[in-house]
Amino acid sequence: MKKSTYIPDGSTPLLERFINTMMMRGKKSVSRRILHDAFIEIGKVGAQGQDPERVFEKAIENVKPSMEVKPKRIGGAVYQIPVEVKSNRQVSLAFRWIIAAARGVKGKPMAKKLSSVLLEAAAGAGPAVKKRDDVHRMAQANKAFAHFAKY
């Protein structure tokens, strides 16, 4: 099946993919408005002269995992085997972790929560980056089982 290539003005394929990931119950306009409001908030709150799209791209780059563990059953035991993450999955996981971190904050509108999580992630801190570090730590701890990856 061929992927759609329509991209609205002033948007990028990465932003459109993030909007689709954030969308709930098919409400793309709501998702698009939340991201737009978050970008306005980043422009206000962030350091002077920070471009919200650059902050967004930097946040995604900081949250993308390079390694993860996959469970594999070998001889009746289940081993957590570290594997490299493909680039498409890296972006998907980064999106999910950023959105989950934003949804986990209570008591603020979603746009404010998303902007704060994106700013933290761009700075290399916050819950989304912590999640990436946890996944990397798990892969590092199970490095001894890497030879099972060939099975």
The residue length of the chain stands at 151
pLDDT, one tens digit per residue, over 80-105 is: 999 999 999 999 999 999 999 999 99
Three-state DSSP class for 69? strand
Is residue 5 assigned to a domain? no
Residue 8 lies in a domain: no
Residue 1 in domain = no
Nearest residue to 84 (alpha-carbon basis) of 146, 128, 129, 14:
146
CA distance 60 to 35: 14
What's the structural domain count of the chain? 1
Q: Are 31 and 15 in contact (CB under 8 A)?
A: no
pTM given for the model: 0.90
Q: Pull the structure tokens for residue 9.
A: 């003005």
For residue 79, is it within any domain?
A: yes
Query: Is 4 inside any structural domain?
Result: no
Average pLDDT value for the chain: 91
User: What percentage of the chain has pLDDT greater than the value 70?
Assistant: 92
CATH number for 62: 1.10.455.10
Q: Report if residue 28 sits inside a domain.
A: yes
> Could you tell me if 53 and 67 are in contact, meaning their C-beta atoms sit under 8 angstroms apart?
no
Q: How open is the CA angle 42-98-3, to the nearest 5 degrees?
A: 100
Is the predicted pLDDT of residue 39 greater than 70, yes or no?
yes
* Residue 135: inside a domain: yes
| DSSP per-residue string spanning 102-115 | HHH--SS-HHHHHH
**Residue ranges making up the domain that contains 31:** 13-150
